[in-house]
Amino acid sequence: MQSKSLSGKNILVTRPIYQSPELCRPLEELGAHTISIPLIRIVEPRSWNAFDNAVRQLDSYDWLIFASANAIKATMQRMQKLELKINTGKPKVACIGTATAKALSAYGIACDFTPEKFVAESFIEQFPQTESANARALWPKTNIGRMLIKEELEKAGWKVDAVDSYNTLGPEDLIETGTSILQLLQQDQIDAITLSSSETARNLKAALLAAHADVDSSLRKVKLVVIGSSTEKTCIEIFGRCDSCAQTFNTDGLVEAVIQALT
């Protein structure tokens, strides 16, 4: 990274409020002014029944799959409340991405498998094969998003239980959120917007529409910077473009993508 390479740039960070500092801090160290307006919220699932039933028989699974740090945090907090823990070796634990593996290590648990690329497609291609008719995997996940992991692993012979460990929702007040962003755009106070998920991209458009904005016109001077190929695809579908995509799907990669877009 170049010292102060983002000096004078205004960057909108749309992550959940408790995750914003992780991205804001390195951007600000490079001279940027960051504005945090969350476009998604992480909340408890509507019901814990499926999750609780699964983790109470955790040792019956061969693998435990985590696709995000949010899933790890939600899972560990709920298991602690249930006075349960993940035993070493059974099940083995798989993580998509170094950030996810790092979140797991914070709980003193090692990751047994991480794909070379931090996307579901790479995970499926490289996940250990099974010849057992009874091989089982547990996937604590959010309430939205692709079911590709479950679908493809089950084709390969796995029995995959996907249970909600958290829910991903939009802003509580979509109009207020959209109005806040629109005002900043109209004042030329945003140079780039970071989007960390497909749902965040969708919620950006929904918020601007709720504020009666002309979306294309409002964003014409702004760089749209994303993390991950799936989010890039969604961004192009929704806005007709993506100005920069992180090459490594983590915070450092997103910062580099912002630099690429704005310098």
Q: Clarify whether residues 158 and 200 are in a common domain.
A: no
Q: Does residue 135 fall inside a structural domain?
A: yes
* pLDDT of 124 strictly over 90: no
Q: What is the pLDDT of residue 115?
A: 87
Question: Which string of DSSP letters, residue by residue, matches 66-131?
Answer: E-SHHHHHHHHHHHHHTT--PPTTSSEEEESSHHHHHHHHTTT---SB--SSSSHHHHHHHSPP--
Give me the pLDDT at residue 123, please. 87
Domain finish residue from 133, 167, 201: 167
Shared domain check, 58 and 28: no
- CA distance readout (Å), 61 to 79, 160, 211: 16, 9, 47
In a domain, 3, yes or no: no
pLDDT by residue (tens digit) across 100-120?
999 999 999 999 998 877 678
- Percentages of the chain per state (helix, strand, coil), in multiples of 5: 40, 15, 40
Statement: residue 131 has pLDDT above 90 = no
**The CATH number of the domain where 207 resides is what?**
3.40.50.10090
What's the domain range around 16? 10-40+170-262
Burial of 171 (0-12, 13-18, 19+ CB in 10 A): buried
Q: What's this model's pTM, rounded to 2 decimal places?
A: 0.88
Bridge-partner residues for 226, per DSSP?
195, 245
134-159 pLDDT, tens digit each: 899 999 999 998 899 999 999 989 99
